Amino acid sequence: QVRLVESGGGSVQAGGSLRLSCAVSGTTYSTYRAAWFRQVPGNEREAVAVIYDIGGTHYGDFVKGRFTISQDSAQKTVDLQMNNLKPEDTAIYYCAADFKGDTSIGWRDRRSYQHWGQGTQVTVSP
């Protein structure tokens, strides 16, 4: 059974940095793409960044060069380095994995991903 486990969340002051990590286990297959989403209670889950198996990346408009997504295919981990954090980045961050590769569905669409982690809380204080 595929399992995604996030780690690295926490509390920081504005301007600080955090590195989130997502460990993928329970499968010998590689992801077509893996992504980070975030959600504030009461709001829709929002796409933060995606990385494809060949290494291409995309980011949400609000990232504006502050975050970097990376992966280690051998270790089956997907990381999100977040710099210059702002209070509005406060949310629960979720890792998601797509093994099917249906390119008719965009990376920002939650339906693209078959597996999700439980989430890790990121809190940024002013």
Name the average pLDDT for the chain: 95
How confident is the model at residue 75, as a pLDDT? 80
Overall average pLDDT of the 91-112 stretch: 94
pLDDT digits (tens, 9 = 90+) for 11-22: 999 999 999 999
How confident is the model at residue 56, as a pLDDT? 95
What distances in angstroms separate CA 103 from CA 16, 65, 111, 112, 113, one per listed residue?
A: 35, 25, 11, 8, 11
What distances in angstroms separate CA 71 from CA 40, 63, 78, 125, one per listed residue?
A: 25, 18, 4, 28
pLDDT digits (tens, 9 = 90+) for 37-57: 999 999 999 999 999 999 899
How confident is the model at residue 29, as a pLDDT? 82
Overall average pLDDT of the 71-78 stretch: 89
CB hemisphere CA count around 110 (13 angstroms): 9
